[in-house]
Structure 1
């Protein structure tokens, strides 16, 4: 791989937009060896990012942290994690680790010079940054729409003939809610990551974008792509291994298992190390990396995720993954977003509280409790159902669990 292939570029055929406004590719001040870029104002951040790309600098787009201690080599960069802990981590990686997947995606999805890519999230979040950098590197127009009110995002997607969209499930849900009757027929591909895509949101987006293929992928800021779904992916699976990725499921002793265990990954897309913060669950062994996710593989290599090891808990000696209960509630009710939070219980170890997004609804609360009793049993079913007008979100679009947990405590 040549030096040019190891670094991001702004291809001369690519244009960059903050919302509908173009970002100039000439006349920008040359960047330093490493650029810490405040992502709070999208247009300014994109201008600074363009300067970093054209000068061949390392960089980090950040929000809400002190960047003074951050640095990287020119062929590296730092992106922030988007996990639910509320404390971002700085992910240091080689630029080539993303460039390799740019080329893979171009082949997998048949990118052409006519494609235009949009992202809905904050540039400090790795998914949105990835979409922008992929566009620019491959010579496709890139649109960053995070500063556009979600009720106006669809209008830009339609007016600019966007064909490819990177988004989280939450962002897709807001896009569908904010759109009137007009459709988005030019969208041909939606790449959805950062969480489980519930059936209700998937159906709403498919109606809005009738010609779009929705491909769900699973990954982390530390790993990039791990799996990718396809037309034959079983329900509730996140798909099979992304090209050049090897997945293993290991038991607590580190041995491969066909049962539920910890997900370990070997791939060319892994990060180098943490430049800010740390994660106790992130481990590297024998060339395989784990970020503490639990799951299982079926006989054909489809991965089913159970939840994060850090959220796994015991209730009366039963192992419980809150993410599975959340998915069941969202799939079986009109609720598009919910969170299951544990509280100490002197007898059973824990009891669960469900927090649903929306106005208080006693009938729906009773329905959710009955649903969970039937599906998970009376010990596991939430003992209380609360309603929150708008669940607090991190910049990644994931639910801010620490903030929501504090809100639950305040309700007592």
Structure 2
């Protein structure tokens, strides 16, 4: 804050918006965002589009969570909480007004909105390619010489399936919203040979928590992002304090996130090594008991992806004998050999209790608008195991 004035997002410079993806919903979202910036009004972004919120005493932003916890929540945060990280990224990653940003997802999703606002705030070029197929997105990334790409792992995997040639202009790939598996990371390194790939761990409520890069030990989500403090309690629960935290939920019926002083509870379980690298076990809400043993469903998914499952998810359903049973859902055609390989991989990596009771193949996984698997919808496909 300077001279008692709360920081606002900078309005975009003329010509900052580029690209041929600005049609229909994209064009409307970008126009509404630019109008909010020009008039200094709070931004309200949702899956229905972007609009100006009612003027408030402080510059505020409203965006939506991914809904991976079963309900989409409206996040209320100050402009300052994102501007602080824009400036960190400018200094730490060397971002500038000479860059050109590519956004693959709808701007109602917080990751895409963050990327768009960072580009406009820094005066960089911006191309919004949401809704286009991966072949079209690849072509536009190449033709527009995009240098900065914010994306989820699912979006990157789709690009790789459509990739032909390379994207030599790409300098920075910043991935969040899920675990970036090694095969996808290797594929993106080949597709973008001049890019630094960074994976961040965070949430709509916290923004950046850690950043991982090529020097990060395997299995870690990296060290604390600048000015972030991480604390782990005796049960492995992760608490975070930083300048980037949200102000709360807009919905009055939602309980506030648990706090301990300046720290908020992330809902994740993990541990820190002696060098400060954070390792995640999984979400508290995704830890289940199978045959009297605790199991994180994220571990099952990682074991399956390590042996070629591709797009997949693990869900747990009540089991009258063992507490829970694990069901693996895999995108693709029926494949008995792959199903057997997945069960064996989970058993070898995690133990007999982790082997999926069933492996179900589906034409496509149900997905949230944030490009994460819709776990609630998947769990609803199955009943209790007798």
Aligned partner of 2:183 in structure 1 is: 200
Q: 1:263 aligns with which of 238, 248, 260?
A: 238
Aligned partner of 1:25 in structure 2 is: none
Q: Give 1:168 shift.
A: 0.3
What do residues 9-43 of structure 1 show as CA deviations (whole Å, max 9, x unaligned)?
22326612464449xxxxxxxxxxxxxxxxx8121
The whole-number CA distance in structure 2 between the counterparts of 1:68 and 1:103 is 24
Structure 1 length-normalised TM: 0.88
Q: Work out whether 1:371 is the aligned partner of 2:345.
A: yes
Instruction: Give ranges in structure 2 of 5+ residues lacking alignment.
Output: none
Q: 1:232 aligns with which of 185, 204, 215?
A: 215
Q: Work out whether 1:79 is the aligned partner of 2:54.
A: no
Structure 2 length-normalised TM: 0.93
CA contact (8 A) 1:250 1:263 kept: yes
Q: Aligned runs of 1:124-163 on 2, under 5 Å?
A: 124-163=108-147
Q: Work out whether 1:105 is the aligned partner of 2:80.
A: no
What do residues 356-390 of structure 1 show as CA deviations (whole Å, max 9, x unaligned)?
11111000001111111111221221111111111
Q: Give 1:315 shift.
A: 1.5
Q: Give the match's secondary structure for 1:99.
A: helix
The whole-number CA distance in structure 2 between the counterparts of 1:198 and 1:406 is 27
Say if 1:81 and 1:192 are closer, same or farther in 2 by CA, change over 3 A.
same
Q: Give 1:276 shift.
A: 2.5
CA contact (8 A) 1:187 1:211 kept: yes
Q: Give 1:83 shift.
A: 3.7
CA contact (8 A) 1:13 1:140 kept: no
Aligned partner of 2:319 in structure 1 is: 345
The whole-number CA distance in structure 2 between the counterparts of 1:176 and 1:316 is 39
- Give the aligned length: 384
Say if 1:301 and 1:281 are closer, same or farther in 2 by CA, change over 3 A.
farther
CA contact (8 A) 1:198 1:336 kept: no
CA contact (8 A) 1:357 1:389 kept: yes
CA contact (8 A) 2:76 2:247 kept: yes
CA contact (8 A) 1:80 1:126 kept: yes
The whole-number CA distance in structure 2 between the counterparts of 1:387 and 1:411 is 18
CA contact (8 A) 1:238 1:302 kept: yes
The whole-number CA distance in structure 1 between the counterparts of 2:141 and 2:68 is 29
Q: Give 1:280 shift.
A: 5.8
Q: Root-mean-square deviation (CA), in Å?
A: 2.4
Q: Work out whether 1:6 is the aligned partner of 2:7.
A: yes
Q: Work out whether 1:282 is the aligned partner of 2:265.
A: no
Q: Give 1:72 shift.
A: 5.2
CA contact (8 A) 1:117 1:163 kept: yes
What do residues 54-105 of structure 1 show as CA deviations (whole Å, max 9, x unaligned)?
100012111269x999885550011100141342100000000000000000
What do residues 111-141 of structure 1 show as CA deviations (whole Å, max 9, x unaligned)?
2332111111111111000000000001101
Out of 143-152 and 401-410, give the one that drifted further.
401-410
Q: Aligned runs of 1:5-404 on 2, under 5 Å?
A: 6-12=7-13, 15-17=16-18, 19-21=20-22, 41-63=25-47, 73=57, 75-179=59-163, 181-252=164-235, 261-276=236-251, 282-333=257-308, 335-404=309-378
Say if 1:134 and 1:278 are closer, same or farther in 2 by CA, change over 3 A.
farther
The whole-number CA distance in structure 2 between the counterparts of 1:74 and 1:147 is 33
The whole-number CA distance in structure 2 between the counterparts of 1:71 and 1:55 is 10
CA contact (8 A) 2:96 2:122 kept: no
What do residues 182-223 of structure 1 show as CA deviations (whole Å, max 9, x unaligned)?
210000110000000011111221111111111000000000
Say if 1:379 and 1:310 are closer, same or farther in 2 by CA, change over 3 A.
same
CA contact (8 A) 1:297 1:304 kept: yes
Q: Give 1:271 shift.
A: 0.3
